[in-house]
Amino acid sequence: MNYDVAIIGAGIVGAACAAALASAGLSVVVIDSTGIASGTTAAGMGHIVVMDDSEAQFALTSYSQKLWDELSTELPPSCEYEHCGTIWVAADDEELSEARRKQEFYTSHGSTAELLDERSLRAAEPNLREGLAGGLLVKSDSVVYQLTATQFLINKAEQHGAEIRIGSAAAAITAEGVKLANGEVVSAGAVVNAAGVAAPDLSPGLKIVKKKGHLVITQRYPGFARHQLIELVYLRSAHASRSDSVAFNLQPRSTGQVLLGSSRQFGVEDEEIDQVILRGMTERAFEYVPGLRDLSAVRIWTGFRPTTPDNLPFIGKLPDSKSTYVAAGHEGLGITTALGTAELIADAILGRESAISPEPYLPDRNFAEH
Ligand SMILES: Cc1cc2nc3c(=O)[nH]c(=O)nc-3n(C[C@H](O)[C@H](O)[C@H](O)COP(=O)(O)OP(=O)(O)OC[C@H]3O[C@@H](n4cnc5c(N)ncnc54)[C@H](O)[C@@H]3O)c2cc1C
């Protein structure tokens, strides 16, 4: 069988690419060694958030958020898509100035963000401790249950004729298409490497490393929190040094559960729960929301974010390749940016003009450093 496009990886990024390409009328096959949403996607938090840490990050996250909002009318209730909004919590006056800077950035880029003082912050989230300086409310951010959303995107691709091959490991990308571990060759006009943290195994030289994270989910406590709550220094800890870090990041689920993050560790390969990191992460959260101490956790897990040197994903054709595309390295924003990524990949393969400039995400910036 000769396909127009073979996609390696049925995480949220590969699934979104499959839905976009199959909807555009191309014949598509999705190949995954393990299962739909079985990799990093299974471990994520599902916060769809517009970020302002660079112009390119803002462009991709805000474009993708718009696409999620458009798709939300099609999403079944099992995808738990909710516009809970984000509050970036400022602990002191210094962080409140950061909130003001952030607000100016969003406003100057056409987004809306509302500054909260101490009193309005507590009114919005009564379980936050007293004495916090304020925060920034971004109402347009949302959450999705990324496992069912990935399945939804795969179903959508199948409805447009895509074939899904689970249990087939790709061993190599060749001029013909994809060579599987069992020796079979799946021939395709183009290949999309959406293998997440494993993408460099198939496209050697791609600079993607694992960044480990922990998450905790509680039993059901409806109304305990109303917004995604993130401490304002989160960005510093998210992108800064390569040393271990924890930050307060809380998500209310539509089930009434509270999902709690987050931690970041480089150079760690094992999936084990690190008790020191876990304690640091929960203690940090207790500083912001003391009542969390009384909630019961039902599950704790870890996952690996696929991280690139400049914190932007690789999206587009590999340099020196006629037909291999990469859609990988989405770090802690792959659920947010999956839909924008898929459009950029479809645009590149179909020769369409893109809604945002594809330049900042092209994989050749990775190779240009050598
Ligand atoms: C703790 C944590 C919290 C997060 N929170 C958020 C959040 O709130 N918001 C957000 O936007 N993002 C979040 N993320 C990031 C997000 O989860 C990832 O960026 C995203 O899931 C990456 O998706 P992917 O499809 O690229 O990779 P994956 O989900 O890892 O999919 C890759 C797939 O490729 C398959 N594969 C690999 N190698 C091969 C091979 N050789 N042959 C065949 N198949 C192969 C794997 O089986 C896997 O299914 C979080 C991540 C973590 C770890």
pLDDT at 309: 93
* Minimum CA distance residue for ligand 1 atom 21: 41
Residue 333 CB partners (closer than 8 Å, separation 6+): 49, 51, 57, 61, 313
- Judge if the beta carbon of residue 172 lies within 6 A of ligand 1: no
Q: What separation in Å is there between the alpha carbon of 311 and the centre of ligand 1? A: 15
Omega prior to 321 cis, within 30 of 0? no
The pLDDT tens digits along the chain (370 residues) read 699 999 999 999 999 999 999 999 999 999 999 999 999 999 999 999 999 999 999 999 999 999 999 999 999 999 999 999 999 999 999 999 999 999 999 999 999 999 999 999 999 999 999 999 999 999 999 999 999 999 999 999 999 999 999 999 999 999 999 999 999 999 999 999 999 999 999 999 999 999 999 999 999 999 999 999 999 975 555 555 568 899 999 999 999 999 999 999 999 999 999 999 999 999 999 999 999 999 999 999 999 999 999 999 999 999 989 999 999 999 999 999 999 999 999 999 999 999 999 999 999 987 655 4
Residue matched to tokens 């694992």? 210
- Judge if the beta carbon of residue 200 lies within 6 A of ligand 1: no
pLDDT at 238: 53
- Judge if the beta carbon of residue 34 lies within 6 A of ligand 1: yes
pLDDT at 189: 97
Burial annotation 221-247 (CB, 10 A radius, 16+ → b, else e): beebbebbbbbbbbbebbbeeeebbbb
Query: Which ligand 1 atom is nearest residue 42's CA?
Result: 29
Which pairing describes strands 2-8 and 28-32: parallel, antiparallel, or unpaired?
Answer: parallel
Query: Which ligand 1 atom is nearest residue 41's CA?
Result: 21
pLDDT at 370: 42
Q: For residues 63 and 343, give the distance between their C-alpha atoms in angstroms, rounded to a whole number.
A: 10
C-beta of residue 231 within 8 angstroms of C-beta of residue 350: no
Q: What separation in Å is there between the alpha carbon of 247 and the centre of ligand 1? A: 21
- Ligand 1, from 8, 30, 45, 146: best to mutate by most atoms within 8 Å of Cβ? 45
* Minimum CA distance residue for ligand 1 atom 26: 196
Q: What separation in Å is there between the alpha carbon of 336 and the centre of ligand 1? A: 12
What are the residues facing 245 on neighbouring strands? 264
35 phi and psi angles, rounded to 5 deg: 170, 170
- Judge if the beta carbon of residue 210 lies within 6 A of ligand 1: no
